[in-house]
Amino acid sequence: MAARLHGRAGTWGVDLGIALLVQAAVTIPFVVPRAASLPPADWPAYGLTSLSVLPLVWRRRAPVTVLLAVLAAQVLYEVTWDGPGQTLPYPALLAVYTVAALSPARRRLPTAALTLVLIFPSVALNSGEARELLFSLLVFGAAYGFGRLTRIRQDYTAAVEDRAAQLERTNRIEAEQATARERARIAREMHDILSHAVSIMIVQAEAGPVTVRTAPERAEAAFDAISETGRDAMVQLRRMLGVLREGGPAEDPSAPLHPQPSLAELPALVERVAAGGIEVGYETVGRPPGPLSLDTEATVYRVVQEALTNVVKHAAAGSVLIRLEYGPDALAVTVTDDGRGPGDSTGHGLVGVRERVTAHGGTVTAGPGPEGGGFRLAVRLPLAPAPAPLVRSPRRS
């Protein structure tokens, strides 16, 4: 509100200053020495001349009304008083400029036509010469043209500013969306790492007291599995936090830029789960058509990891089979267990799996096993080849 009032006060000040400048211009013929043969420069003539300047203070608020008032005052001066003339009709020119710059076409065009018509009788009452008529048409046409150019420039500037503001809003929205996507990705990574590690450690810890009493040699393996799982989780978290930490890659140039696991780590994952007493089978059918992208390998690893985590936490299964089947253009990943069935398949883990796979253009199917028992997670991923390495041409000596 204060800014609006300040803007209005500034506009009033500018208009008042312009009116005073025009008043100074029309005052010149009244203060310079005049020949005795010319009409006298008396106060009534000066007052009537000033009456044509006064409406200019309101020219932005009512451009058409101000122009009509100025023209009426000048016509009245020419008809009723034989006073000093003006080099140029300053108030009328400024009023015409304002109408051309600020008024809409439905008001601007009729007013401009009326002004054009009034020029002819005005010249006839003054000198009646063709030279004055042509000069009047020229200066009033120039005032109208400058007004239109000003309006076009203002519209263009406003359009550019509006486009810049829209671009800024678009960039801000895109940045917020990118931040949200990155936050969701980090949440998925943290969930997969911690959920899997904690589940394995809980299962091993719960089995520890029993195995200590019944099979001490297995208890040692269980504790080793807990330690190895914890260390692996710490390594993955440290890699992730190292990438997120500002300046992390710069501090260690050899550190990976993306904390993503690969298919080469799947056997170690299977061994950790099998150490908890679950029989885990892992088989691969076919061969990939070429090197897989890091994103594809990381997605397969996380899908298998989440499926095994659900088996350990919820399925009460005795065995689970992991199968990777390569086709010419897609990789099918299935994880099937003999546990107690699908149960609730809407948890955060499966939601994260769907988000990962959908982001890579794949599909997810989850439900009962082949014979109606257990649980089966099936994922199909299109195979995106790894980017070709950059080959630099040798330098010429």
Residue 55 CA to residue 77 CA, distance in Å, equals 15
- Give domain status of residue 21, yes or no: yes
- State residue 249's pLDDT score: 46
Q: Residue 358 above 70 pLDDT?
A: yes
- State residue 342's pLDDT score: 60
Overall number of domains in the chain: 2
Q: Give the residue with greater pLDDT, 176 vs 33.
A: 176
Asked if residue 121 and residue 178 are part of one domain, the reply reads: no
Banded model confidence at residue 213, pLDDT cuts 50, 70, 90 = low
Mean per-residue pLDDT, 369-387 = 80
Q: Give the residue with greater pLDDT, 62 vs 217.
A: 62
Q: Which of 155-169, 251-265, 292-306, 339-353 has the highest mean pLDDT?
A: 155-169
Asked if residue 343 and residue 207 are part of one domain, the reply reads: yes
- Which residue range forms the structural domain that includes residue 190? 173-248+257-382
- Give domain status of residue 148, yes or no: no
Q: 70, 95 in Cβ contact below 8 A?
A: yes
Residue 291 CA to residue 263 CA, distance in Å, equals 11
Q: Residue 255 above 80 pLDDT?
A: no
> What percent of the chain is modeled with pLDDT above 70?
78
Asked if residue 358 and residue 221 are part of one domain, the reply reads: yes
- Give domain status of residue 158, yes or no: no
Asked if residue 184 and residue 293 are part of one domain, the reply reads: yes
Please name the residue ranges forming H helices in the chain: 2-31, 43-53, 63-80, 90-102, 105-126, 130-214, 216-244, 248-251, 266-274, 294-310, 348-359
Residue 122 CA to residue 132 CA, distance in Å, equals 10
Mean per-residue pLDDT, 297-318 = 84
Residue 306 CA to residue 294 CA, distance in Å, equals 18
Q: Which CATH number is 181's domain given?
A: 3.30.565.10
Q: How many other β-carbons are positioned within 10 Å of the β-carbon of residue 96?
A: 28
Helix (H, G, I), strand (E, B) or coil at 36: coil
Banded model confidence at residue 308, pLDDT cuts 50, 70, 90 = confident
Q: 145, 112 in Cβ contact below 8 A?
A: no
- State residue 21's pLDDT score: 92
Mean residue pLDDT of the chain comes to 79
Q: Residue 2 above 50 pLDDT?
A: no
Domain boundary among 128, 156, 183: 128
Asked if residue 365 and residue 234 are part of one domain, the reply reads: yes
Domain boundary among 69, 99, 128: 128
Residue 232 CA to residue 282 CA, distance in Å, equals 20
Torsion of CA 230, 231, 236, 240, to 10 degrees: 90
Asked if residue 184 and residue 102 are part of one domain, the reply reads: no
Domain boundary among 92, 111, 128: 128
Q: Give the residue with greater pLDDT, 165 vs 39.
A: 165
Banded model confidence at residue 87, pLDDT cuts 50, 70, 90 = confident
Asked if residue 124 and residue 177 are part of one domain, the reply reads: no
Asked if residue 109 and residue 217 are part of one domain, the reply reads: no
The contacts of residue 66 (CB under 8 Å, 6+ apart) are: 55, 56, 58, 59, 95, 98
- Give domain status of residue 351, yes or no: yes
Q: Residue 388 above 70 pLDDT?
A: no
Asked if residue 186 and residue 85 are part of one domain, the reply reads: no
